[in-house]
Amino acid sequence: MQHLFPKGFWWGSSASATQTEGAANIEGKGQNIWDYWYEKEPNRFFNRVGPENTSQFYYRYKEDIALMKEIGHNSFRLSISWSRMFPNGKGKVNDKAIEFYNCVIDELVAAGVEPFVNLYHFDMPITMQNIGGWSSREVVDAYVEYATTCFKLFGDRVKKWFTHNEPIVPVEGGYLYDFHYPNEVDFGKAVQVGYNTILSSAKAIQAYKELGQHGKIGIILNLTPSYPRSQHPADVKASKLADIIFNRSFLDPSVKGEFPAELVSLLKKEGYMPTIDEGDIDIIKANTVDLLGVNYYQPRRVKAKEHLPNPEGPFMPNRFFDNYVMPGRKMNPHRGWEIYEKGVYDILINVKENYGNIECFISENGMGVEGEERFRDKSGIIQDDYRIEFIEEHLKWVHKAIQEGANVKGYHLWTFMDNWSWTNAYKNRYGFVSVNLEKDAERSIKKSGQWFKKVSENNGF
């Protein structure tokens, strides 16, 4: 076996509440921003498919966890829905939600699949968004109340917690580029939202440590390497600025407890510093993560600006660089994303060399394919050899990083089963397990799921 992984390696997948649970409007669950936005503007969603039913994990979790076990999972990352736990974002907790998540966690533990639990995956309760979302300190406090409640209720069995998944994405989508609700374009608000999100993470970590539950708590970041078009100083400077804005803005405070000096300097220069209360910086400094989840899908390639930005237009990060389309790049034509497997190695070596070699794992990596049903053979199995190749080539680079001393503990695919994917709905499929929406969400294991079982059993390939 050429690629043997360390003993106890975490093999599994990741998913989120809103994208898989369904049952969006029953048993006490409050609306989140996706429920509300779909109700308001269904045309913004592919084929006008909303989050109300998704993949029915709420009803079929026992069947799904049995399938996880069958395809070799020893761990699975799920998220808890804040609006299911607290229909109003704070105040009274929903007993039905407690019952559901207790059952899911117990089922996972009984199956020998360790639950990794994430607390926030893009799904702000609408009641909280209505008072400002992450721009509001009141919402930060409500989030810490929600997190603390989850620790107390489930922390006896859950020993891997995560405060946020990809926190830069709600900043970009909700406050810069109009692909998440509340669809605002306001750089100043984006900065405050980012800052308050980091503060909320530190405060949740503080609350967890005070409970003394002897687990680990971390954050999950989509770390997208920024590669310059050339070694020309202007291109290199552009790539460093992109890295500071989109990677280091969350990575540095989460792991090191401090913001990049270059980012602070840039925000001061441009007049966009967030409101910082007394004591905040001490909280952020004292409450760094134990464990880092790394999501990687594609690289970011950038070049120096070719045209001056509109001086009257809204302030945007891309006034510092332009995106660069590299000729001859390897592509996933279905998703429109570049495939660059070495990127995962570059991330892990950077974490090793510049972030204290913190314990980390690949928490998302995956390949979305449109119209995957056409690859289903006569026996009913989707022959997704392209996904096997994608995973295998990334794992080779993960293995190389481990061989060179990177502290990498696992690999989770996005995702376990085909799920609803925000405004893309079911356009692209990512799962080890097919969900046939034409046949009552019938599950069937794809070829990649069968392959993954062997990799997990052999702890390598």
pLDDT digits (tens, 9 = 90+) for 60-104: 999 999 999 999 999 999 999 999 999 999 999 999 999 999 999
Just list the catalytic residues. Answer: 166, 364
What is the per-residue DSSP string for 182-226?
Answer: T----HHHHHHHHHHHHHHHHHHHHHHHHHT---EEEEEEE---E
- Residue pLDDT, tens place only, 133-148: 999 999 999 999 999 9
Which residue type is seen at 132? G
pLDDT band at 265 (very low <50, low <70, confident <90, very high): very high
CA distance 279 to 139: 18
Share of the chain above pLDDT 90, in %: 97
Place of tokens 């804005």: 245
pLDDT band at 432 (very low <50, low <70, confident <90, very high): very high
Averaged pLDDT for residues 355-371: 97
CA distance 413 to 363: 7
pLDDT the model gives residue 292: 98
Question: Is CATH 3.30.70.120 the right assignment for the domain spanning 10-458?
Answer: no
pLDDT the model gives residue 239: 97
CA distance 84 to 100: 10
pLDDT the model gives residue 335: 80
Q: Where are the alpha helices (DSSP H) in 279-418?
A: 280-286, 342-354, 385-403
Please report, for the chain, the start and end positions of each structural domain, with discontinuous segments joined by +: 10-458
CA distances from 219 to 169, 279, 369, 418, 453 (A): 14, 22, 27, 24, 27
Q: Where are the alpha helices (DSSP H) in 71-227?
A: 82-85, 95-110, 126-129, 137-154, 168-175, 187-211
What's the distance, CA 87 to chain centroid?
Answer: 23
- Count of Cβ atoms closer than 10 Å to residue 309 Cβ: 13
pLDDT band at 1 (very low <50, low <70, confident <90, very high): confident
Q: State the first-to-last Cα distance of the chain, in angstroms, to the nearest integer.
A: 6
Question: What global pTM score does this model have?
Answer: 0.97
- How would you label 394-424 residue by residue, b for 16+ Cβ within 10 Å and e otherwise? bbbbbbbbbeeebbbbbbbbbbbbbbbbbbb
Q: Are β-strands 360-364 and 337-338 bridged in parallel, bridged antiparallel, or unpaired?
A: unpaired
pLDDT the model gives residue 333: 85
- Residue pLDDT, tens place only, 180-234: 999 999 999 999 999 999 999 999 999 999 999 999 999 999 999 999 999 999 9
Share of the chain above pLDDT 70, in %: 100
